[in-house]
Amino acid sequence: MKLFKPRFFRRVLKAGLPPGTLVHIGERKLENVRITYIDYDQDNFQEKQVSDIEECFKFKNTSTVTWINIDGLHEVSLIERLGAEYELHPLILEDILSTVQRPKFEEYEKNIFIVLKMLSYDDENQMILSEQVSLVLGSNFVLSFQETTGDVFDPIRERIRNSKGRIRKAGADYLMYALLDAVVDSYFSILEKLGEKIELLEKQLLSQPSDETLEQIHSLKREMIYLRRCIWPLRELISGLQRCEASLISDSTGLYLRDTYDHTIQVIDTVESFRDMTSGMIDLYLSSLSNKMNVVMKVLTIIATIFIPLTFIAGIYGMNFKYMPELEWGWGYPLVLLVMLIIVVCMLTYFRRKKWI
């Protein structure tokens, strides 16, 4: 069983620094930072991986939608330059770099800032892995920041390249919605994994529960506690987005956000159902323990209850008294055996009636 350690905070490192200080908090998961941009409107499309962040700045004042994606957060100066160019508030930059954020939505004067958790399931360790994704929406750009490469955004890139759906026709707000929606959609596969695990554990519980089963239920519960922490804030996040008065989000995108909100509710509902199921499984486990004990005790009781009286009778006739008339009888021995047999039969009848055998 894995212990939960590495998944909570390490904010501690930063205690005492002035707010707005840019320090990367979290594991360095990549060798090099990877910068890509996609710039498009209905008619034009450019996509490139660049090594210098400055290359992306040329789109700043164009009317096209620019999506700059950065994988790897350890190069603080790069983030800083990007922030300076796009006039991001220092608190945004700080939050991007600190990978222990709670999912949240914040409205700034010129930007909307979103922090999310992108989750994946590590089958080997039976553990949910999480990566922090930050999105910044401006009037004509979306900046996305991830801890490592590999994400759920590829289908969106594909849609932009192929001009599938309405994405090329819509603005930056629709792009941000699409990214958000991709992350929420990916949660369903985590739920599917957990659902399978619950199903498996339930089968085990009903056939042959063991110590290990309980440990697995316990570990499952902890994964669920973690999942809740990642998912619950989303509800508030998206409804905040919907209510936000910034002109950055158009009405038509609002309709799509409502859809994402529904999915989030569905995810939360499912997690809550899973929690209910898991606690039911612990009841099942504990009562299976009691049942086992009952079986063991019954065996002991049946054996002891049958043989202890018989042994006593044998003990009687093993006494060395001079004058024990029964010992002299010719039919004494078979008679005693008969009596014992009768006792056994009575006992067995009694147990059968009590439904113990």
209-228 positions binding a copy of itself, by CB under 8 A = 211, 214-215, 218, 221-222, 225-226
194: its two tokens: 């957990």
Return the residue matching tokens 């929406």. Answer: 137
Q: Return the H-helix or E-strand segment holding 26.
A: none
Question: 53 or 160, CB closer to a copy of itself?
Answer: 160
Give the list of residues 6+ apart from residue 283 with CB closer than 8 angstroms, or none: none
Return the residue matching tokens 């529960």. Answer: 209
Question: 74 or 298, CB closer to a copy of itself?
Answer: 298
Least distance in Å: CB of 353 to a copy of itself?
12
Q: Torsions phi, psi of 200, nearest 5?
A: -65, -45
Residue 353 within binding range of a copy of itself, rule CB under 8 A: no
Binding residue for a copy of itself, selected from 47, 51, 84, 165, defined by CB under 8 A: 165
- Enumerate residues 92-131 that contact a copy of itself by CB under 8 A: 95, 100-102, 104, 106, 108
Residue 349 within binding range of a copy of itself, rule CB under 8 A: no
SS3 322: coil
Question: 45 or 356, CB closer to a copy of itself?
Answer: 356
Binding residue for a copy of itself, selected from 42, 62, 290, 349, defined by CB under 8 A: 290
- Enumerate residues 227-246 that contact a copy of itself by CB under 8 A: 229
In one-letter notation, the amino acid at residue 141 is: F
- Enumerate residues 62-81 that contact a copy of itself by CB under 8 A: none
Least distance in Å: CB of 84 to a copy of itself?
16
* CA-closest candidate to residue 224, choices 277, 180, 179: 277
Binding residue for a copy of itself, selected from 182, 231, 241, 249, defined by CB under 8 A: 182
- C-alpha–C-alpha distance, residues 194 and 228, integer Å: 13
Per CB under 8 A, the segment of 38-46, 67-75, 76-84, 349-357 that binds a copy of itself is 349-357
- Enumerate residues 142-161 that contact a copy of itself by CB under 8 A: 152, 154-156, 159
CB 94 within 8 A of CB 21: yes
In terms of residues, how long is the chain?
357
Binding residue for a copy of itself, selected from 27, 52, 87, 259, defined by CB under 8 A: 259
- Enumerate residues 1-30 that contact a copy of itself by CB under 8 A: 1, 3-5, 8-12, 14-21
SS3 46: strand
Question: 34 or 275, CB closer to a copy of itself?
Answer: 275
* Bridge-based pairing state of the strands 65-71 and 141-146: parallel
126: its two tokens: 């039976």
CB 206 within 8 A of CB 246: no
> Using CB atoms within 10 A of its CB, is residue 281 exposed (0-12), middle (13-18) or buried (19+)?
buried
Question: 43 or 330, CB closer to a copy of itself?
Answer: 330
- Enumerate residues 293-322 that contact a copy of itself by CB under 8 A: 293-301, 303-305, 307-312, 314-322
| DSSP output for 54-101 | GGGGGGTTSSSEEEEEEE----HHHHHHHHHHTT--HHHHHHHHBTTP
Per CB under 8 A, the segment of 27-35, 62-70, 75-83, 185-193 that binds a copy of itself is 185-193
Residue 330 within binding range of a copy of itself, rule CB under 8 A: yes
Binding residue for a copy of itself, selected from 77, 245, 283, 353, defined by CB under 8 A: 283
